[in-house]
Amino acid sequence: MTNLEVFELLDEAVKGLLWNSESDYPFEVFIWEFGEKVSLNNEVVLKITKHTLDTPIKIIEFDVFFQGAITPKSWHVPEESETVKRYQELVNTMQQYLSDLKVYKVGEVEIDVYIIGRTNTRDYAGLATVSIET
């Protein structure tokens, strides 16, 4: 699958979805294609996302990050149940087409979130959003 096809799949999967924190933010899809093969680490993520190198950064396991969003609750109204189903589909899509999935949370309070995995071409693709955590 090409990077463009991965981009289009992710773009379709997040259309209309908002990341629920103290405020709701949309997702943006990205592809990072490097001429040379680069392994992600905190410094690389901070540089690519144009944060200063002293910005706090934390890595969260992919499954842990999405746990609340993909878990149905007995008190959900139909609209909330549909959102859970869409998140389940998003997680499945990302797991199917991306490997080495990790979540980088950059900053404090208004946190930039980057959900990143490797494509089959060894580039990186994923989603960016914002999470407000006070």
- Res 35: pLDDT: 62
pLDDT at 36 exceeding the cut of 90: no
Tokens of 31: 């592809």
4-10 — which CB contacts under 8 Å span 24+ positions? 4/31, 6/31, 6/97, 6/98, 6/119, 6/125, 7/31, 7/125, 9/93, 9/97, 10/93, 10/94, 10/125, 10/126, 10/127
* β-pair partners for 103: 60, 115
Query: Amino acid identity, residue 56?
Result: P
Query: Which single residue is written with the structure tokens 């392994």?
Result: 39
134 pLDDT tier (thresholds 50, 70, 90): confident
Does the structure show a pLDDT above 80 at 77?
A: yes
Where residue 52 falls among pLDDT bands split at 50, 70, 90? very high
CB distance 5 to 120 below 8 Å = no
Q: How confident is the model at residue 124 (pLDDT cuts 50, 70, 90)?
A: very high
Give pLDDT, residue 51: 96
Distance CA 125, CA 134 (A): 28
